[in-house]
Structure 1
Amino acid sequence: MTNLNRRRLFGLSTAAALGALVSACGTGSADSGRPQGILRFGSVAGAGSAAALDPHGSLFNESDWLRHTCVYDMLATTDEQGNIVPALARAWTPDEDATRWTLDLRDDAVFSDGKPVTADDVLFSLGRMSELAAENGNRLGLVDVEASEIVDEHTLTIVTSAPDAELPLTLAFGTFVVPEATTDFAQPVGSGPFTLAEMDDQGANLDRSETWWGEKPAVARVEIRAFSSPQALASAVSSAEVDVAASVMPAAAESAEEGTAVHVRPASECVPLLLRVDTAPFDSPQVRQAVKLALDRQALVDQVYLGYGVVGNDMIKYDEPSVPEDVPAVERDLEKARSLLEEAGYPDGFDVVLHTTTAYPAMLPTATVAAEQLAEVGIRVDVEQHAPEQYWSQAYTVEPFTVGYYADTSFATTVRQTVLSSAAFSETGWKDEEFDADFAAAMSETDEEARLEILHQLHYRMAEEGGWVVWGFGDGVDLHAGHVSGLPAHGNRYDLSRVTLEQ
């Protein structure tokens, strides 16, 4: 089996991603002072106070993702090593040019109301995702729902609008399956490892499903608690309010009290600076290069992530097979940066606004530290902070200088979301017909080695020509009580069906 197949092409399960976390929450003893069989999981509600009920709409909130992953199944998921593995879809087979995929569904999956999961439910769910593409970041990618068709009760053919040799990656990212004709999600009916008992804006309680097709979750109940600030979340573990505090700021790990364990998921997120190449001053290649050379990338990793991370060299992914191995380091060179600015017509530098938010903890510190560093070459940055619920529609892809965020999406998915859309909606406004053609060729190439060779070159082109300044990758940092085990070893997808609690 090839490397990409091992890592990517055998499925991402919603329950599997959540279960890796929940396996750490088994049963507690009567005298332990903690609830028996209950996993209390805390995360920051970073995108506004209201919980998102629709699993196919806008989900920019870790608490929402976690809840939906507990309640709903996806077509594919990831195992503990990050490989894509089957979930509701037991297997998938492409045709020669990867435009028609046959999906064989499980015949033992049932919804929480007792009804079986069928191909009709899957196609209906994909249709809703397609209809809400503008809200969900086009999570469905190239899937052409209208052209797709049901073969029988547990088989369907998924058609893509263009060749897509990495469709399984799409199937493993937010393809939440709901019963056909569902329009009200206040009382969700899913086929996942847990069922919703009750919820409000502060969190949700979920009970273990006794009808889930997968391995029985280790905990009887999950309590997902949303916190308004990273500081409050971090302190909740030491005060025994929660068992797990997910994705805390690195400072919380540095100051963790005795008895609190620190769990690290290496290089699990990226918070790049985004320069729109179609807007001054970043329409100048010299200016873009000056920004890249003006940054002290190791200092950014040290200050933003307190060393919990690695330096980036403008490749938008870190450890995917698509990333070339011989990526040259981008060394800081203030003298050359000043020279490039003068060459571009800015001998005295320029003033610019850098837009950011607190939707994810590293976004505001990134803007603050980058502004200080850029000032050394005459780029005078005014940092403007937006409310999380407004940032993604009012600043991101709109303003010429913003802070972005990447986590679990693959390179192919990220390219589709941030490059191949119209320039007006592209993150950096960068468009190139040759790039688009080469990407399409890669997606039609079913031979993995040949496909990776093309993707390697596309990484280089984005780094050299585009407006992505990927200065580093931050580790995911979780705090947890000593009785918790089974947290994910990578990425940001928590599979609570796998987490266990020791006695």
Structure 2
Amino acid sequence: MSHRTPSDGSHTSRPTSSPVSRRGMLALLGLGAAAVATPLLGGCSSGEGASPVRDSAPTGTAQRGGTVRLAFAGSGADESLDPTVGQAPCDLARHMIVFDQLFVFADGTARPSLAIAAKPGARGEGCTLTLRQGVTWHDGSPFTAADVVHTFRHRASPDRAFPSELSTYFDLKAARAVGDHTVVLPTVRPVGDPATLFAGADLHVIKNGSTAFTTSSTLGTGPYRIARFQAGVETRLERHDAYWNGAGNAQTIVLLSIDDPQARANAVKGDQADYASDISVATAKAGLPGAGLQIRSSQEALRTTYGFVLNVTRKVSADPRVRRAIRLGIDREALVEAVFLGFGSVANDLFGAGARHFLDSVPVPEHNTAEAKKLLRAAGATGQPFVVRTAEYESGLNASSELFVEQLRELGLNATLLKVGVTEGFDPAGMKACDAIAFPLGPFSLALTYTRSAAYETLALPDKELNDAVATAISTTSEATRATAWETAQKVMADRGNWVAWGRGDVLSVAKEKLTGIDSHGSPKYPWLGKAGFVA
């Protein structure tokens, strides 16, 4: 959310990090700057099953040509063609098919895109990027190492509103081209798996010399180019037939900026759109919106994890007995039933589900209110004030926070709820005055999950074993050592951490039944649309 202050760092092994912008944290959560969904309409589930949904697009080859219209949440006049600025889902969906990244996430793992290899030094010092050959920009000019060097320096410039967080690990200004398809990038601290950091960095490669982004000047290497752009209303994109990974199916893609989830669904029902991203569970629960349409769900590995982060700078949450009491005392099934209405499942207090090295073996904590009350009494926390902070960044966060507060009161805490607006939800000063913060997290790498969330003092856990494990996981070049380090980090969080991740919810959409080629590419809230089209 808003510009954060870095954590004070309780141990020298903990990586220091540059301030994370509100944009950076929104990207971490898997949300955009204007991704404010409407509250739940249905309250608690009636017990009936959720409406039938599909977890995949229709099979078959999409036809060439035609127009595909897709509706995403936008941010009005703040939308931008500049890939370093716009962060609403509509912006992100557009950036991802106009520009390419060095690496992208697929199935929780970094996959090559414009870079085919990122080789670290023997001890994680420095990185050599090998770039893909045969790639052209929308104007027909060749993609080269000079473009990547310009992109690094552009993102590292102090006049950028949102400098790249890669500067925490790499000396971006010192990047240099070695020939046309190799970039040498020095590190400022050891990095053993640079591809994963690049994949999670929201780094879209721009053409050498690019400084302004208008309809006529915006050039990318992606499968579609800008034809028309009206911020907050519509973007029209035309196919780039020379795309290195095969030309798209649709000739034209139209992105519609529609903030309200119900209005997005209605656009599909009324045939103003062919796809609506991120609809509410209440809309999905109501059933299919019309003939020839489908409700689609993200795969289980791409669900959004809902939870609360306990602020250990506050006296009550600082006590590990209190943290354990809360994890034991909350009724996860009740939260899942009330918030997801059948479109989700309970979680095991760990964020990062779906990522490589995620510890699925950690069990969901038992629901034991008697033990929870006993722990609170032993910690002297019974009757103590406990403020829970929430903003509706994600549909159902406020509703889940209300139920969470009720459950905490039943355990003996004097819990109260503080609802704030989205623009102030992650304000550092506001979070510091609260004991718990409602927190949704998208399906991202463990490196992103642990380092960015720890960069906020009020979200961090100052634990030596945890910090040492995360530092090792980031710096080592050994996959076996990395796997062990991430296992250690997650066991610490499960044992004495400050996360109360209670559930994982589906990301739902409405689509024409013949629409295919919607690829989540890491987050289903802003999928990759490069192969969108209709089957016969």
TM-score bucket (shorter structure): 0.7 to 0.9
1:501 is matched with 534
Over the matched positions of the two proteins, sequence identity in percent amounts to 25
- CA 1:462–1:186: 2 relative to 1, 3 Å: farther
RMSD (Å) for aligned C-alpha atoms: 2.8
1:373 is matched with 407
Q: Is the 8 A contact 1:21 1:497 kept in 2?
A: no
Asked if 1:257 corresponds to 2:292, the answer is no
Match of 2:71 among 42, 62, 68: 42
Report the CA distance between 1:396 and its aligned residue.
Answer: 7.4
Provide the C-alpha distance between the structure 1 equivalents of 2:58 and 2:396, rounded to a whole number of angstroms. Answer: 25
Provide the C-alpha distance between the structure 2 equivalents of 1:427 and 1:409, rounded to a whole number of angstroms. Answer: 21
- CA 1:405–1:418: 2 relative to 1, 3 Å: same
- CA 1:309–1:498: 2 relative to 1, 3 Å: same
1:64 is matched with 91
Provide the C-alpha distance between the structure 2 equivalents of 1:394 and 1:433, rounded to a whole number of angstroms. Answer: 23
Query: What is the DSSP-based 3-state SS (H/G/I as helix, E as strand, rest coil) of the residue aligned with 1:431?
Result: coil
Provide the C-alpha distance between the structure 2 equivalents of 1:22 and 1:177, rounded to a whole number of angstroms. Answer: 32
Greater shift, 103-112 or 376-385, is seen at 376-385
The residue correspondences of 1:151-300 to structure 2 (distance < 5 A) are: 151-173=178-200, 174-187=202-215, 188-199=218-229, 200-255=231-286, 256-259=288-291, 260-265=293-298, 266-267=300-301, 268-300=303-335
Match of 1:320 among 345, 348, 355: 355
1:438-481 per-residue CA deviation (whole Å, 9 max, x = no partner) reads 32223333332332122101111123333211112112222111
2:477 is matched with 446
1:17 is matched with none
The residue correspondences of 1:58-137 to structure 2 (distance < 5 A) are: 59=87, 61-79=88-106, 81=107, 83-131=109-157, 135=162
Query: What is the DSSP-based 3-state SS (H/G/I as helix, E as strand, rest coil) of the residue aligned with 1:63?
Result: helix
Provide the C-alpha distance between the structure 2 equivalents of 1:134 and 1:381, rounded to a whole number of angstroms. Answer: 38
Q: Is the 8 A contact 1:24 1:484 kept in 2?
A: no
Query: What is the DSSP-based 3-state SS (H/G/I as helix, E as strand, rest coil) of the residue aligned with 2:78?
Result: coil
Q: How many residues align?
A: 469
Asked if 1:359 corresponds to 2:432, the answer is no
1:33 is matched with none
Report the CA distance between 1:330 and its aligned residue.
Answer: 0.6
Asked if 1:391 corresponds to 2:425, the answer is yes
Provide the C-alpha distance between the structure 1 equivalents of 2:457 and 2:155, rounded to a whole number of angstroms. Answer: 20
Q: Is the 8 A contact 2:78 2:86 kept in 1?
A: no
Report the CA distance between 1:221 and its aligned residue.
Answer: 1.3
Provide the C-alpha distance between the structure 2 equivalents of 1:130 and 1:406, rounded to a whole number of angstroms. Answer: 26
2:516 is matched with 485
Q: Is the 8 A contact 1:355 1:399 kept in 2?
A: no
- CA 1:74–1:272: 2 relative to 1, 3 Å: same
Provide the C-alpha distance between the structure 1 equivalents of 2:85 and 2:429, rounded to a whole number of angstroms. Answer: 19
Report the CA distance between 1:376 and its aligned residue.
Answer: 1.9
Query: What is the DSSP-based 3-state SS (H/G/I as helix, E as strand, rest coil) of the residue aligned with 2:358?
Result: coil
Provide the C-alpha distance between the structure 1 equivalents of 2:376 and 2:535, rounded to a whole number of angstroms. Answer: 59
Provide the C-alpha distance between the structure 2 equivalents of 1:41 and 1:202, rounded to a whole number of angstroms. Answer: 12
Provide the C-alpha distance between the structure 2 equivalents of 1:251 and 1:23, rounded to a whole number of angstroms. Answer: 28
With normalisation by structure 1, the TM-score equals 0.85
Asked if 1:415 corresponds to 2:415, the answer is no
Report the CA distance between 1:155 and its aligned residue.
Answer: 0.7
Letter in 1 for 2:407: Q
Asked if 1:339 corresponds to 2:374, the answer is yes
1:331-377 per-residue CA deviation (whole Å, 9 max, x = no partner) reads 2222222222222223324342x222233324333323322322322
Greater shift, 263-272 or 66-75, is seen at 263-272
- CA 1:166–1:433: 2 relative to 1, 3 Å: same
Q: Is the 8 A contact 1:21 1:498 kept in 2?
A: no
Report the CA distance between 1:84 and its aligned residue.
Answer: 2.9
Report the CA distance between 1:193 and its aligned residue.
Answer: 1.1
Provide the C-alpha distance between the structure 1 equivalents of 2:420 and 2:80, rounded to a whole number of angstroms. Answer: 20
Provide the C-alpha distance between the structure 2 equivalents of 1:460 and 1:326, rounded to a whole number of angstroms. Answer: 10
Query: What is the DSSP-based 3-state SS (H/G/I as helix, E as strand, rest coil) of the residue aligned with 1:224?
Result: strand
Structure 2 residue runs of 5 or longer lacking an equivalent are 1-55
1:378-397 per-residue CA deviation (whole Å, 9 max, x = no partner) reads 33444333333343346775
Match of 2:340 among 305, 308, 315: 305
Query: What is the DSSP-based 3-state SS (H/G/I as helix, E as strand, rest coil) of the residue aligned with 1:341?
Result: helix
Provide the C-alpha distance between the structure 2 equivalents of 1:21 and 1:124, rounded to a whole number of angstroms. Answer: 38
Provide the C-alpha distance between the structure 1 equivalents of 2:282 and 2:102, rounded to a whole number of angstroms. Answer: 37
- CA 1:392–1:135: 2 relative to 1, 3 Å: farther
Provide the C-alpha distance between the structure 1 equivalents of 2:120 and 2:76, rounded to a whole number of angstroms. Answer: 40
Structure 1 residue runs of 5 or longer lacking an equivalent are 1-19, 29-35
Report the CA distance between 1:41 and its aligned residue.
Answer: 0.9
Provide the C-alpha distance between the structure 2 equivalents of 1:398 and 1:218, rounded to a whole number of angstroms. Answer: 49
Provide the C-alpha distance between the structure 1 equivalents of 2:257 and 2:421, rounded to a whole number of angstroms. Answer: 17
Q: Is the 8 A contact 1:72 1:177 kept in 2?
A: yes
Q: Is the 8 A contact 1:42 1:227 kept in 2?
A: yes
Q: Is the 8 A contact 1:342 1:348 kept in 2?
A: no
Provide the C-alpha distance between the structure 1 equivalents of 2:290 and 2:128, rounded to a whole number of angstroms. Answer: 52
